[in-house]
């Protein structure tokens, strides 16, 4: 299994995560701004059918995917230096829904998700701010996303983004600190460092999900953790 991460996440987190699969440490230059230049959720979108990659994802990563037998499709839109060119692949896709802001989604993602419901959100940086922990349960750090999901009668749990680290930015977002695989929620950080940590741990426990803290510190937004098999 390949695990895609930003090269800059804490070393302790990388060491712990390496016990679960082969790490692919993402780093790019001269494509987009520094804070998100290694974020998987800026360059990749996972759907139930396939992995969609930005066409300007550096070729060395595309080669790794090919050599490891990871099927992927290149999207149409290039990731650019600023918004909205940074939002084309920042969707959340589940078996039942595609979550994104209309007008921002790469056409290849829309094509792969024709058979599922598109839920329009007010935030185009969707995967940064939203993760599914079960088919009907979600975590978000965006009030607009929370409101939109509640309108669709989905269970969404809000946690403030103010205490989440993202170098060079005032704060990060909760989706960027998390990754889910095999009923395990991997966290770049430790909930005990947050004012809402006990509530977060209780939520994950109620969902019967194993919580794995990757390092002993505040949540760190690394653009998510992507697991590829």
Q: Give 195: exposed, middle or buried? Use CB within 10 Å, 0-12, 13-18, 19+.
A: exposed
What's the mean pLDDT in 143-158? 98
Predicted pLDDT of residue 46: 97
User: What band does 135 get if pLDDT is binned at 50, 70 and 90?
Assistant: very high
What is the average pLDDT score of the chain?
98
pTM of the model: 0.96
Question: By three-state DSSP, how is residue 191 classified?
Answer: helix
d(CA 77, CA 10): 30
Domains of the chain: 2-228 (3.75.10.10)
Residues 6+ apart with CB under 8 A from 116: 93, 94, 95, 96, 97, 98
Measured distance CA(196)–CA(174) in Å, rounded: 12
Q: How far apart are CA 92 and CA 12, in angstroms?
A: 27
Secondary structure E strands in the chain: 2-6, 22-26, 44-46, 51-53, 72-74, 92-93, 97-100, 117-120, 130-134, 137-140, 155-158, 178-181, 184-187, 210-213, 226-228
What proportion of the chain, given as a percentage, has pLDDT over 70? 100
Q: What secondary structure letter does DSSP report for 177?
A: G
pLDDT of residue 179: 98
């Amino acid at each position: 299994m390949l695990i895609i991460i930003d090269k800059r996440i804490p070393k302790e987190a990388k060491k712990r995560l390496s016990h679960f699969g082969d790490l692919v440490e993402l780093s790019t230059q001269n494509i987009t701004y520094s804070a998100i230049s290694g974020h998987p959720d800026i360059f990749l979108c996972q759907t139930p059918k396939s992995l969609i990659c930005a066409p300007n994802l550096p070729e060395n990563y595309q080669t790794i995917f090919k050599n490891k037998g990871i099927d992927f499709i290149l999207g149409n839109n290039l990731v650019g230096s600023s918004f909205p060119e940074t939002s084309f692949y920042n969707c959340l896709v589940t078996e039942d829904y595609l979550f994104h802001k209309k007008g921002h989604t790469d056409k290849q993602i829309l094509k792969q998700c024709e058979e599922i419901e598109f839920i329009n959100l007010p935030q185009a940086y969707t995967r940064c701010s939203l993760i599914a922990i079960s088919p009907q349960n979600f975590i978000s750090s965006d009030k607009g996303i929370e409101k939109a999901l509640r309108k669709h009668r989905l269970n969404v749990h809000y946690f403030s983004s103010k205490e989440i680290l993202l170098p060079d930015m005032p704060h990060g977002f909760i989706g960027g600190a998390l990754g889910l695989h095999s009923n395990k929620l991997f966290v770049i950080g430790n909930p005990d460092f947050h004012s809402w940590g006990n509530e977060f741990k209780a939520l994950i426990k109620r969902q019967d999900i194993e919580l794995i803290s990757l390092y002993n510190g505040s949540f760190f937004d690394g653009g998510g953790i992507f697991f590829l098999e």
